Amino acid sequence: MHIEVTNAPSPTLPRWRGRGSRFGLSFVFAKGRSLASPLPRSGGGTGRGLWVAALLATLIAPAHAYKAYVSNEKGNSITVLDTEKMEATSTVKVGRRPRGIALNKDGSELYICAGDDDAIQVLDTKTLKVTGKLPSGPDPELLALSPDGDVIYVSNENDNLVTLIDVKKKEMIGDIPVGVEPEGMAISPDGKLLVNTSETTNMAHLIDTQSKEIVANILVDGRPRFAEFKKDGSELWVSSEVGGTVAIIDPAKRELKQKISFDIPAMSKEAIQPIGISFTRDGKRAFVALGPANRIAVIDAETKKVEKYLLVGQRVWHLAFTPDEKYLLTANGVSNDVSVIDVASLKVVKSIPVGAFPWGVVVAPQ
Amino acid sequence: MKSLVAAFCLVLSAAPVAAETVNVKVGVLREAHARETLSILDIPAADDTLAGALTGAADNNTTGKFTNQTFEAIDAKLEDGDDLVAALDALLDKGALFIIADLSPERLLAASERAKPKGAVLFNVSATDDRLREADCRANVIHVAPTRSMLADALTQYLIWKQWRRWLLIKGSHPKDELLAQAFRNSAKKFGAKIVEERVYEDTGGGRRSDSGSVQTQRQIPVLTQNAPAYDALIAADESEVFGGYLPYRTWDPRPVAGSGGLTPTSWDPSHEQWGALQLQNRFTQTFRRLMNARDNAAWLAMRMIGEAATRTGSNDPEKLGLYLLGKDFSIAAFKGVRLTLRPWNQQLRQPILLSDGRMIVSVSPQEGFLHQTSELDTLGVDQPETKCTLK
């Protein structure tokens, strides 16, 4: 018999607990893999209410069914979700330690950084089969795709390099030396500026994609992990996991404009660790995942004020909107689930069980 | 005035790039550690501590390419009978005004005194003595290594979380074993554990290596531990490495062992891989062909703290860098899951403590539920209200 532990058992109650039994202990005894069907949570008072709300929402405005892909760092798998049914539809075995994931333009291929296999795997999203791999250098963690989809930029932590890969030819076409432990990768909407963050050097390196030269190095707070451009390219946001802040950079002037910090009542400063960042298409709102603070900060992207903190699962990593921006999905590492946020009401409406240690999440364009 | 404003803006907006290369020289003043360890896995290598400092210098130099700064580690190893003052003077003469110190408490205090007129800053990477942060604290010493009280509290929080509250305490017969035993006694009182009995393991001399040692040990340890009152965990206070490692699996009663054997609190362990630590372990092992121990890690961290301060201030002036490190803007990432900062009242680095069984990290303290008004990391060790330190 195979025993699957969906939540880490703990003799004492986790501090963030306080919403009924949503994250109660549940051991699931299953033959083989059971991730395809949603697991009933113990109790369920809150759950049922949320279900009704979700059903009502579906009745009023029929949502599109999108496919979301979640990388499970410890599960060595990708969970595929149906965003309308809000459940897992399949689980695909992939390489070891999958973290950063990205879809190509039409959503036909998913690129997966399989860190412990030193490769980027290519998953055919129709057949859900791994069709090949791209050479990446050792331990790839995050990647960025050029707007035309021809070049993948990968951060290779062990070599202090950003590696360039030609997607069609499946070959490495260059590398750029950066700071210690490169991690976050983002590319400006016009494709001209690449940004890489280095976790131990604590810089955002701005790189001209034409010349492949670094054009500016901007110091940010400790352990910068993720970078994201606003959709109009006017601002670049960089999250510092250990520093606990988000730096806002003017990409044209290549300078730091300001920093956003977070304050959650009764939560220690050290536990607030910003990671994933997502902007709404109109650039008016930003959502920032706060790691072990188990919350998403909702930020007015114009005034830079935090409007609200939304409680999600444990150690939340990365985020993705559905293309209609109705929902925002969050990958929650320690609680092995994806939280679904209703963007209009700013409410967490559902928790979907996925594989072990979900890390990255993307949603297909259609 | 205009140029001043412009310079200030530059500092705010980008990494400060010096016109001329700024060289930061760091001395690594280290004494040899005992090779008499119970496990051969713990015998110190010739480059013990130094290898960590070199790894930190390499990291800083990668960053330095973008800021026009270079970092250099200058080794000064004290062999038996070597004069501390002469070795320190040689480092200071070479312009090394940052000293990574792997020294006994007495030598650390002597080095602090000697370095004072030169304005040099010392980074203590190995001495765990609480007195160096309390009655004997010094303004030019920053403590990267945790204290005995921090290590004891880290272990105790976990044992309390496990509800293993009744302890049999066995201590060695050397003064530093008693210091560790006292840290465990204080910790038991602080968090509500009970020491049901104390025993002493006399060091009768002799070596650690023999060709059939386990045959005798298997018979000695049950005798040492029999006829004890009911207890939940056996706590060993054996910094001298005389018996602690022999206790697990050999006790009269089947009980877990912790402290200087079994589950051990430490600032670093070669098996630590979380929060990106694997990357540091990998680059250390690739270069030095061995595993990183706690002293290596503290030296790496001291070098990173120097690097971080140099990057942020664009300077190599020890006074400026010291002010930055003790200021409110300083924090550093060290693969422990949270930012590390300095306790301003005694210059001790706040840090989570790993609990290792020698193969794996069993847990990391502070444990959930141990709360503090300033930082949960301050639930470990002597806290500000109890401090006896007046920095001078």
The predicted-structure confidence for B34-72, as pLDDT tens digits, reads as follows: 888 999 999 999 999 999 999 999 999 999 999 999 999
Output the CA–CA distances (angstroms, integers) from residue A220 to A273, B70, B195, in the order listed. 14, 20, 48
* Averaged confidence pLDDT in chain B: 93
Average pLDDT over residues B217-239: 96
Question: Which residue type does A325 have?
Answer: E
Give the residue from B71, B282, B339, B380 with the most A CB atoms within 10 Å of its CB, the best one to mutate: B339
In this chain, the answer to whether the domains covering B17-146+269-351 and B148-204+213-266+353-392 adopt an identical fold is yes
* Residue B67 contacts A where some CB pair is shorter than 8 Å: yes
Give the pLDDT score at B11: 41
Which contiguous run of DSSP H or E holds residue B158?
helix B148-161
Residue A17 to residues A10, A21, A311, A356, B368, Cα–Cα distance (Å): 12, 8, 10, 20, 12
Give residue A63's pLDDT: 62
CA distance linking residue A18 with residue A31, whole number of Å? 32
pLDDT attached to residue B18: 65
CA distance A133 to chain B (A): 23
Per-residue pLDDT, B179: 98
Residues of A in contact with B376 (CB under 8 A): 268, 270
Beta-carbon count within 10 A of B321 CB: 24
Alpha carbon of B383: minimum distance to chain A alpha carbons (Å): 17
Is the peptide bond preceding residue B366 cis, with omega within 30 degrees of 0?
yes
Strand partners, B73: B26
The pLDDT assigned to A125 comes to: 96
What is the torsional sign of CA A41, A47, A51, A57? negative
Does the CB of B15 have a partner CB in chain A at under 8 Å? yes
Mean pLDDT value of segment B294-298: 98
pLDDT above 70 as % of chain A: 83
pLDDT tens digits, A313-358: 999 999 999 999 999 999 999 999 999 999 999 999 999 999 999 9
**Residue type for position A250:** D
* Mutation site for B-interface testing, chosen from A10, A118, A242, A275 by largest number of B Cβ within 10 Å: A242
Q: Is B375 close to A268, i.e. CB distance below 8 A?
A: yes
Q: Which amino acid is at A351?
A: S
Q: Which fold has domain B148-204+213-266+353-392?
A: Rossmann fold (3.40.50)
pLDDT at B209: 77
The answer to whether the CB atoms of A12 and B282 lie below 8 A apart is no
| Average pLDDT, integer, range B257-284 | 97
Cα A111 to Cα A149: distance, rounded to the nearest angstrom: 11
pLDDT of residue A48: 47
Q: Which pLDDT does position B15 carry in this prediction? A: 57
Query: A38-42, A227-231, B183-187, B309-313: lowest mean pLDDT where?
Result: A38-42
Q: Tell me the mean pLDDT in the region A23-31.
A: 38
Q: Is B8 within 8 Å of chain A by CB?
A: no
Is A217 within 8 Å of B66 when comparing Cβ atoms? yes
pLDDT band at A279 (very low <50, low <70, confident <90, very high): very high
C-beta atoms of A157 and B338 within 8 A:
no
pLDDT of residue A28: 37
Side chain identity at B369, as an amino acid letter?
G
* pLDDT given at position A60: 53
The fold of B17-146+269-351 is: Rossmann fold (3.40.50)
What confidence tier does A157 reach under pLDDT thresholds 50, 70, 90? confident
Give percent above pLDDT 90 in chain B: 89
Residue B173 has pLDDT above 60, yes or no: yes
Question: Which residues 21-60 on chain B approach chain A with CB closer than 8 angstroms?
Answer: 59
**Cross-strand partners of B121:** B98
Residue A314, pLDDT score: 96
Q: Which of A44-58, A295-309, B303-317, B328-342 has the lowest mean pLDDT?
A: A44-58
Q: Which of residues 143-202 of B touch A (CB under 8 A)?
A: 161-163
Phi/psi at B83 (5° precision): -85, 120
pTM above 0.90, yes or no: no
pLDDT, tens digit, 9 for 90 and up, residues B76-99:
999 888 999 999 999 999 999 999
* Half-sphere exposure (Cβ direction) of A252: Cα atoms closer than 13 Å: 5
The first and second tokens of residue B115, run together, are: 């370095």
Which of A205, A243, A270 lies closest to B376 in CB terms? A270
pLDDT at B143 exceeding the cut of 80: yes
How near does any CA of chain A get to the CA of B313, in Å? 11
Q: CA of B16: which chain A residue's CA is closest?
A: A219
Taking CB atoms and an 8 Å limit, are A214 and B66 in contact across chains? yes
Strand, coil or helix: A27: strand
Q: Identify the residue whose tokens are 């451009």.
A: A229
Q: Which residues pair with A339 in a beta bridge?
A: A330, A351
Nearest to A217 among B15, B333, B339 (CB): B15
Among A160, A200, A218, select the one facing B14 at the smallest CB separation. A218
Q: What was the pLDDT predicted at A137?
A: 82
Domain boundaries, chain B: 17-146+269-351, 148-204+213-266+353-392
Give dist(CA B240, CA B327) in Å, integer: 37
> Torsions phi, psi of B240, nearest 5?
-80, 0
For the record, the structure tokens of B236 come out as 């060993």
Q: Do B377 and A270 make contact, defined as CB atoms within 8 angstroms?
A: yes
Q: Are B26 and B75 in contact (CB under 8 A)?
A: no
* Interface contact A202-B308, CB threshold 8 A: yes
Any bridge partners for residue A237, and if so which?
Answer: A228, A248
